[in-house]
Amino acid sequence: MYGKKVKLRFTYLSLILVVLILSTYLVLKSLEENVVYFISPTDIKGLAEINYDKKYRVGGMVKKSSISMNSEQINFIITDYKNEISVKFNGVIPNLFSEDKGVVAEGFLKDRNFLEASKILAKHDENYMPPEVKKALEGN
């Protein structure tokens, strides 16, 4: 019925379509699985449900004189001056990590008041403050 060329083109197009749909599906699925949500301690209090198998990034300021250390771990408190959360961390802290400075901790939530961090990030810039904290401070 159709010429050979049309058939070939049809196969070609449908092949491309299938590949496109398949890869879009894979990308979206992987995206959904690996997205890390960025939240503030106040957000955690407001979360309807905590997903304990998912990583979160909690951002805020390191609370004054809340850092304690022993040979295995570092404990400190992240605050956004409204709410706070305790963090336990085993690993290397970044250079700009210190009291009263902005920090982002990535890890799993154990409950609403406790985060077991696997990574700690601090901005390169010593004057950096997470936007949420800035907003919270300006609000006060």
Partner 1 sequence: MINLIGNYSLIFALIISLGTMFFSFKNFKYNNILDFNLIVLVFLQFILIFCSFCTLLLAFINSDFSNLAVYNNSHTTKPLFYKISGSWGNHEGSLLLWLLVLSLFSLIFLIQSKKLSVSFRSLSIFFQQIIIVGFILFIFYTSNPFQLIIPTPNEGLGLNPILQDPALAIHPPILYLGYVGSSIIFSSSLAALVCKYTTNQWARDIKKWTLISWIFLTIGIMLGSIWAYYELGWGGFWFWDPVENVSLMPWFCLTALLHCSSVLEKRSSLQSWTIILALCTFMLSMSGTFLVRSGILNSIHTFANDPERGIFILIFLSCLILLSLIIYFKYNNFEKSNKSFFVSKETAIVINNWFMMYFLAVVLIGTIYPIFLEVITKEKISVGPPYFNQLIIPLLIPFLFIMSIGTKLDWIKNKEINVRYKKIVLLILSVLISYLIAKHLNTKILYSTVLISAALYLLFISILDLKNDKLKWSQKTSHLAFSILIISIILNSIFSEEQSVNLKAGEEKKLSKYTIRFEKISKSQIENYTSLKAEIWVSQNNNELIFYPELRLYKVPETITSEADIKTNLFNDNLVVVNYLKDTDYLNIRYQKKPFMLLIWISALMLAVGGILGLRKKY
Contacts with partner 1, residue ranges (CB under 8 A): 8-9, 12, 23, 26-27, 30-31, 33-39, 55, 57, 67, 69-74, 90-99, 104, 121-126
CB atoms within 10 A of CB 38: 15
Q: Is 133 exposed, middle or buried (0-12, 13-18, 19+ CB in 10 A)?
A: buried
The minimum distance between CB 93 and partner 1, in angstroms, equals 5
**To 5 degrees, how large is the angle CA 136–CA 138–CA 140?**
75
User: Cβ closer to partner 1: 54 or 110?
Assistant: 54
The minimum distance between CB 131 and partner 1, in angstroms, equals 9
User: Cβ closer to partner 1: 70 or 140?
Assistant: 70
Q: Are 75 and 127 in contact (CB under 8 A)?
A: no
User: Cβ closer to partner 1: 12 or 114?
Assistant: 12
CA dist., res. 13 & res. 21, Å (int):
12
Q: Parallel, antiparallel, or unpaired for β 68-69 and 74-79?
A: antiparallel
The minimum distance between CB 11 and partner 1, in angstroms, equals 10
The minimum distance between CB 104 and partner 1, in angstroms, equals 8
